Structure 1
Amino acid sequence: MFGHDTSKEPSREWAVIVKEQRCPFVEKRCYKVRKSQPEISIGTCTVKYGNEPIIICPLRLLERRQIFVDCLHLLTGHEPGNELHIVPEISVPGGSIDYMLASVRAGKVRDFVGIELQTLDTTGTVWPERQRFLESKDVVGLDAADLRNPKSYGMNWKMTAKTILVQLHHKIQTFEGVNKHLVLVLQDRLLDYMGREFSFQHISQEARTSDPMHFHAYAVKCENERSISLVRRVSTDAVGIAMCRGLQSEAKLDLQVILMAIEQRITTKTRFDFQQPPLPVSVELDQS
């Protein structure tokens, strides 16, 4: 909760943590709020499901900015002296790209990689479980109705996987058309599910730089504070994504349009910096 491991740190000052509502991955207030009470941040970025941790907030993947470092090799046009920028939410056919990692010289983009973040959507609500945990840590001022609420939560595996494959099929045609890379960052358990439930036999199990579509799968490691680690990389192209579900699309976008969209968003705040997190992308409001 709020980046702190609830299973290993029983002595934490949970009343203070909940009051601060701080997300350590963007170093700001947690953006995941209750729809009915927008002044309250929920802070549940990872939950236990099937005795294993499942990431449910995409901003959780921003830990240490490692996902951007793991995409540097795909910036084949990057040269010494160029600046690196992390530009959020650039519109392309089929939606928007969460982040563009761009190599920039003198304000002009020399190369870029699109990075999409995908975590599991939940069914039901995590809120009652959250409140009961806080009660067990002697946090006061909790609503008794929340504590008695029998509702629980589950993982919406199928809809999450279907939705992202549809979106990827629209977007990868654009990136392939301008000879650039698109990376989907996700948890290893979600990639495993997609491999079982969809046609992934043709997906290259050894990621190739020549492929435009890359999957970077991260595992949640349990040593000390839970952290994420890249454990698997696979790749394919637009035809490969289409084969997963047999989708069709004619989405195209001119390279100069993408370059202009990135360059218009470049500021000192987008510059790649290990000392400060990238600008956060939009997250869904909790419906509970």
Structure 2
Amino acid sequence: MAAKQAERQLVEIFGHAPRDHSSAARTFWQLNACPFIGKECTKFDHTRTICYGTCSVTNAEQEVVICPNRLYENNYEAIRKVGSDVFGDIPFMLFNEYVRIVASGNHQMDCLVALGHNSGKEVKISQLSMDWVIAHIRNQQLVEYVGIEVQSIDITGNYRDAWYAARDMRDSIPASGHGLNWANVHKRLIPQIIRKSLVYSKSLLVKNGLHFIVPEPVYQRFEAIIGANIPLVDRPGKEVIVVHTYDIGPRVEQGRMRRLVLNRELMFDLNEFSKRFISGPNLPPGIALDDKIRSILAVS
């Protein structure tokens, strides 16, 4: 007999456990505020009247981040890490910090400036919107920059009953009815990574290719498509994708928030990644398609 699938649960709401009734946790509920970006949460229902604030959920035995803002904890630490990895020990600032320094008359800076979510604005060219760009500025000159893509996973289904039980601080929270839109991995997420990586690889000012920040369970779905045995490279470059996967850390006492934990860092060639997506090792054989159509039509 097949093992019973684990019930799906909400893991974090407004940054805290659903059963966290502490004043710290309930303040974020009352404010409809995201503790990771310090602003109003963006996860509203379709009527824009209920702010759900759901950061992460379970899928089978895994805990999965479903909101990219969850990946920005500790003042965008994951973004800052990329800046440090690529450019070394150079002062890092968000766009508003940069504007204040320029306005003060300091034009001889050697610094990193992040353009992206809540920092200036996203860089858009043609129909592509780059999540983050970290620019190295020296004496008012753009010296170099690196791109960062941040992805979580979209949710499907309905978790309203579980959410209301958490909101009302009931003793029992029912299982959630949510699902996860894994089809988006091959429909949207992988094609976006390839297209944006190609753009960065053609830039005259990019020496270090696209960095990809993603929850570990989501990247495992990438591996199910491109194969987990993709050859790795040992140094970054214009045509290298650098993947940073994150998990949610251990559970904590009430009133506190779980930390984001770096799980893996991988580097591989963009061309190899693209080739595997198109012709990939895990594509079904043609005969499987033949047999499927025969079975639908009940013919031989």
Distance in 2 between residues matched to 1:11 and 1:25, nearest whole Å = 18
Aligned length: 235
Shift of 1:132: 2.2
Q: Give 2:182's aligned residue.
A: 157
Q: Does structure 2 retain, via aligned residues, the 8 Å contact 1:203–1:234?
A: no
Residue 45 of structure 2 corresponds to residue 34 of structure 1: yes
Cα offsets for 1:97-148 (capped at 9, x unmatched): 111111112333212111111101111123332112223448xxxxxxxx99
Q: Give 1:85's aligned residue.
A: 113
Q: 3-state SS of the aligned residue for 1:246?
A: helix
Q: Does structure 1 retain, via aligned residues, the 8 Å contact 2:90–2:112?
A: no
1:108–1:137 distance in 2 versus 1, CA, 3 Å: farther
Amino acid across the alignment from 1:240:
E
Distance in 2 between residues matched to 1:203 and 1:191, nearest whole Å = 16
Q: 3-state SS of the aligned residue for 1:153?
A: strand
**Which one has a bigger Cα radius of gyration?**
2
1:190–1:55 distance in 2 versus 1, CA, 3 Å: same
Give unpaired runs (5+ residues) of structure 2: 1-12, 92-108, 117-121, 280-300
Q: 3-state SS of the aligned residue for 1:32?
A: coil
Residue 31 of structure 2 corresponds to residue 3 of structure 1: no
Q: Give 1:173's aligned residue.
A: 198
Shift of 1:76: 4.4
Shift of 1:28: 0.9
Distance in 2 between residues matched to 1:207 and 1:5, nearest whole Å = 39
Q: Give 1:55's aligned residue.
A: 65
Shift of 1:93: 5.2
Q: Give 2:270's aligned residue.
A: 238
Q: Does structure 1 retain, via aligned residues, the 8 Å contact 2:226–2:273?
A: no
Cα offsets for 1:145-200 (capped at 9, x unmatched): xx99x981111223234411111111111111124421110011111222123335
Amino acid across the alignment from 1:195:
E
TM-score, normalised via structure 1 length: 0.72
Shift of 1:13: 6.5
What fraction of aligned residue pairs are identical, expressed as a percent? 23
Cα offsets for 1:195-226 (capped at 9, x unmatched): 1233353341x652235311110111114231
Distance in 1 between residues matched to 2:80 and 2:25, nearest whole Å = 32
TM-score, normalised via structure 2 length: 0.69
Amino acid across the alignment from 1:208:
R
Q: Give 2:290's aligned residue.
A: none
Distance in 2 between residues matched to 1:97 and 1:167, nearest whole Å = 10
Distance in 2 between residues matched to 1:213 and 1:198, nearest whole Å = 14
Residue 214 of structure 2 corresponds to residue 186 of structure 1: yes
Q: Provide the alpha-carbon RMSD of the alignment.
A: 2.8
